[in-house]
Amino acid sequence: MKCIIMANGEYGSLDLYREIFNDTELVLCADGGANYAWQLGIMPSYILGDMDSILPEIREYFQEHKVLFKRYPERKDFTDTQLALERAEEAGADEIIFTGTLGKRLDHTLSNLYAGIDTVKRGKKVIHFTPECIVYLVTSQLELHGKPGELVSILPLSDKARGVWATGVEYVLKDAELEKANPYAISNVIAAPDARISVSEGVLAVFHYLGSE
């Protein structure tokens, strides 16, 4: 099941997000992510969080349309994005696409990337989407359908990532070991329409910058 989690981060042009909602069975909004759902005309399944970011009139609108709300205390040991991710897994989602999770505050961006580590280890597909950059969390293999010249960066989210291969790119990796403390595998370049990246042990974050030729 495909699930989209809308966070309260940067979006840019909202029209560029419409296509990813095709064939989506579950839409979850992490608090202020509901503001962007309203602008897109999307009716979420759930709105979760401490409700400090959703605009009052938008909250009222979704309440009138019987959208389910789950409110949590402001002081808690989980972020709103983590709560939405937990709900997605409980609902049986095996493909989770985040929006509004990159950009704005760096600490939020890092927290959002780290939040998916355990999820992807459990065999779920985890993606962070913006129109300019898509970030894939990878524990096995990934095929990138890009254009030659587009940038790709590979960073380990685990302390080490072993058995890393990257083909169809300008700087090929062959059974490499990447360390979080030595993040050198950035600014690679797609050289073939179907680049492939794989890892035998660990978790990778693969950044694909669209149209960066």
Does pTM top 0.95 for this prediction? Answer: no
Question: What pLDDT does residue 76 have?
Answer: 67
Q: What CATH number does domain 141-209 carry, 3.90.800.10, 3.90.1150.10, 2.60.120.320, 3.30.390.10?
A: 2.60.120.320
Cite the residue boundaries of each domain of the chain with CATH code 3.40.50.10240.
2-131
Fold of the domain built from segment(s) 2-131:
Rossmann fold (3.40.50)
What is d(CA 48, CA 86) in angstroms, rounded to the nearest whole number? 11
pLDDT tens-digit profile of 40-99?
A: 999 999 999 888 899 999 999 999 999 999 887 777 667 888 889 999 999 999 999 999
**pLDDT of 213 strictly over 70:** no
What is d(CA 198, CA 192) in angstroms, rounded to the nearest whole number? 16
Whether 29 and 47 have beta carbons less than 8 Å apart is answered as yes
**pLDDT of 212 strictly over 80:** no
What is d(CA 21, CA 3) in angstroms, rounded to the nearest whole number? 9
pLDDT tens-digit profile of 150-185?
A: 999 999 999 999 999 999 999 999 999 999 999 999
